[in-house]
Structure 1
Amino acid sequence: MAYKVGRCLLRQKLKDAGMTQLQLANKLGVTEQQINKYVNNRQGMSLQVAKNIAVILNCHTDDLYEWVIVGENE
């Protein structure tokens, strides 16, 4: 079975944590615009960024995206 990355779930994770995009940006040392790109699926996160966000939000990196099953051969 194979998976592909679906939509980013960062907006909901931020809401669940009671954190704004600006607060996350400040903790990561990036701009709010960069976080907004992730939230709106305009740019994917690198594994390093996803790991750092997961640590800040106290979740797993897998929790930051929807995962779509694509089948055995993909």
Structure 2
Amino acid sequence: MGYKPGRCLLKQRLREIGKTQQWLSEVTGLSKAQISDYANNRKVMKLSTAKTIATAIGCNIDDLYEFIKVG
């Protein structure tokens, strides 16, 4: 049994702390386009990127995605 990332929850996490994708781009050094791709489920974050984002917004990596059981 394992897990795969489902829907990205980045938009919700940012809304909860009253921050924008622009702000996240500025504090992480990631491009606005990259952050938009993650937030709109066009791309899945690498582990290192998820850690960077989670640290910036004060949450756990697990809080960035809905995870789906596989197997």
Which runs of 5 or more structure 2 residues have no equivalent in the other structure?
none
Distance 1:70 1:55 in 2: 27
Q: What TM-score do you get using the length of structure 2 for normalisation?
A: 0.91
Report how far residue 31 of structure 1 moved: 1.7
Distance 2:68 2:59 in 1: 19
Which runs of 5 or more structure 1 residues have no equivalent in the other structure?
none
Q: What TM-score do you get using the length of structure 1 for normalisation?
A: 0.88
- Please say which structure displays the higher CA radius of gyration: 1
Q: How do 1:1-74 and structure 2 match up within 5 A?
A: 1-71=1-71
Q: Secondary structure at the match of 1:67?
A: strand
Q: Which amino acid aligns with 1:22?
A: Q
Distance 2:45 2:26 in 1: 16
Distance 1:3 1:38 in 2: 18
Report how far residue 2 of structure 1 moved: 2.1
Distance 2:6 2:21 in 1: 20
Counting aligned pairs with the same residue, the percent is 49
Q: Deviations over 1:39-67 (max 9, x none)?
A: 01111111111001111111100110001
Number of aligned pairs?
71
